[in-house]
Structure formats: structure tokens, C-alpha cells
Structure 1
């Protein structure tokens, strides 16, 4: 892989991982439009490590508070807002974990169709637009009810379909349940931590089972750094952006991209 390919794929992963526009769709489509070869498992692992590092660093203070509060809730039963949020993140990850185990074969084969991506971009884009337009409240991630966690967690499982967007569908569900834009976004970002960690772990297991080959460690390191930087900037500026503008520009982008894909691949 040359520098241009590494740069584009890494930045695309970093930006789209947390924007509600589907990172998997963009990473599938970039090689389609550029005729580049598939970037491979090692590269996917590197860019996901970069985006994971970005969200961990951005929310490091909040994560530290949740970690200590969660530990106290286990050892002494002491409950707090931080411990409840930590449990919400863990329980909200269960549905996508179960779905990933049962649907792994479909996700890696039939679900990678450009037409399916197009329909997912449009359908779930419209859902995001409706949820944002009709949002019912301004609750934060600390105000989650268990019914909210169940709905958002089940919605996250739909993100296994390329084009859905993990961040997009979880933000949509959270908005419908009465969270504000920022609360929905922050909960979505925090939910990405266990999901991405699980994905990285599975990729690592697959990688070590593959035949040994030449690995360009400098390219992988560069990809991880570029992905991490772009993901960190994305999180920061996205939270600023939605306070003032909302989700509708992302809805419009999804619909336009989906229609374009239908025109090209129908």
C-alpha cells in the first residue's frame, strides 16, 4: 500500500467511525471506486485500534470515574450515576455481541452488497432525520432508563448491516427514547468502546491463525495514528456541531450517497 492509500483509508475510517454515516459502507466502497485491493485484516485491525484509542483518550476522565464506580458497585453494592452508566454500556453491548456471533457468515458475504448499503443508508438516514426532528427531550447519558438501554442496545445490533452505521442507529434510538442530541451522541461513543474492543480481539485471533507473512509494520503504525487523530477530531467537532446544527446535514449526506449508489449499481 502506498502512502495515499494508507492516508485515505485511515482518515475515512477515523472520521466515519463516529459520524452517523457508516464507516463500514465507506471502507467497502472506497476500493470499489478506486479499484484498490482489499486492505486486509492487519490494516483493519490497525485502524480500529486507532479509533479505539481516540475514544478512550477523549473520554478518559469519564471512563476512569465509571471504572472505579463500577468496581465499587461490584464489591460493596454501592450505586452511583457513574456505575449505572457503566452497567448500561455493558448491558447495551450484549445484543450486538449475540447478533455478531449468529450472523458472522452473512455479515462477511451477502451483507457486503453495494445495493444493500444504498438502501440502508437511505432508510436509516430517514429514521435519523425523523428522530432528530421529533426528539422528545434533552436527557443525558446519565439519565438512561433500563428500557432505553434495551432499545438502544438492540438497535446497535442492526449496525451489522453495512450502511446502517453503528453510531447512527444508536443515536437514532436514543433520540427516539428522549435523550438530547449530545446525550445520545456521547452514549453512542461510549457504547463503541466494548464493541470495538471485541471486534479488535476477534480480528487479532483471526490474524494470529493466518499463515505468517511479511508485515509492513510502519504502514500499520501510520494507519493507526492517522485513524486515531482523525477519530479524535471527529468526536470533538461533531459534539460541537450538533449543538448548533443538529443531525439533518448527515441525513442529507446519507440519502444523496444512497441514491448515487443506486444509480451506479442498480
Structure 2
């Protein structure tokens, strides 16, 4: 743990120093020459590579394991949930290489979310996707986010208050959704289903079907299993990388959901499935 923290600190310092060097020399490139700027950037990039050589693969595995703990097999302690909630957004930003906003917008595009639709985000984490969905559906429509972690929900509520977003957040179990049948036009699940055991997933899909309106849509976005197939170090260290969302298509059909489209989600090792309730 200490080694990982030092690596994170080292990488943060290197990135900061690189940005500072580009800023300072970038304004004086006529004086120092473009070659000097390139040299400074190259030196810092070499330092980044050295840091990853010293422990980069284990660091990535550590970050993946931190964001996606083995919840379905072993209950996560409350102390770890608190730590995870406080660090969640930063770690997502790091693992998407700063493309977390693009990830959210792509997810909403895949779900075909339109103004006026009611949306439920299951396993909403700190609520960023639900807040983005609210901007799309408009003030007259409802967006709800649920998560099993009270710490995640507390952070989501605070985030919504800070931006003035009228999203409803609640602590709830995906196997027993506290909503009436036919409540939502769209249900979202992003990088959540892999946490569940097979029995829990079947119950979750049954609940998704129950709360969807006729013709409602379910968008699931999760791992494709590609990392494990490539036998990368990260894939071996992170068990959830072996999860393949597309293998759930028969379970979707068994739950009464009709898969209409599936494929790459536009991000490495992630797939999507969009299904409809007939």
C-alpha cells in the first residue's frame, strides 16, 4: 500500500512538473528554442516511463482493484467503502485518462436518452452519470440514482446540491428495487453487473424488467473480457477484466428483455448491450 501511494505521488509530481515546464518554456520558446521545450518534455516522459517500470503495472492493478473491489464474493467493509467513495471520481478520471466526461456522454448516447424520459441509474456511484442524464432529459423529467453504498449516495447528493441538479439519490439493492412496476423509460447500468454473482445478476435483470415501462430501454455497459484474453498483467491482476458482458445476452432474453444492439462501447475493453422491454 505504501509503495502504491509513493508511486501515485511520484506520477503526480512528474505530471505537474511537465505541465509547469511546458507553460514556462512555451511562452519563451523564441528565447530558448523549441528544441529546449521538447527536451524538457522528453526528460519528464522518460521519468514517467521509469516510474511505471518500477511499479506501473501493479499500480494500475491496484487502482482497478480499488475502484472495483470484489464485492460479490466478499462483503466490503464500511471503512473501505468510505475510502473508495472519497477517491472514486479521481480514480475514474485517471483510468479514463481524463476522458470521463466523454465516457458519460457516450453512455447517454448509447442509451438513446431523450428529453422528457424518466431514468434510473443502478449502481450510480457518486452520481455523475445521473446528473449528466438529468441535463439531457430536462427539468420536467425525473432521474433517480441508486447505490448499495451509503457513502456513495451521500457524495452523490452533495454533488447534485453543488450543481443545483434535481436528481433523486437513494441507498438501495439492485436485487430489490424500491419502485413500482412500469416506472422508468430507461435503466442504466455502467460497469456494475460484473460485481454481482450469477444469481444476483438474474434477480437484478428481473427487477430491471419489472420497473421498465412497456417499450422501455435497458443499457448495460461493462467489461468485454478482452484484457484477460490478451493475458495482460492488468487482466490477470484484476479478476473483473475476465467478465464478458455479451455472455449475458441469453440472461437478458430469459428476463424478458430483447437485446437490440451490442458491441464495443468506444473505450478499451468495454462493451455495451441495449435491450428493450417489448
Shorter-chain TM-score range:
under 0.3
**TM-score (structure 2 length as normaliser):** 0.27
**TM-score (structure 1 length as normaliser):** 0.27
Structure having the higher Rg: 2
Larger fraction in strand: 2
Larger fraction in helix: 1
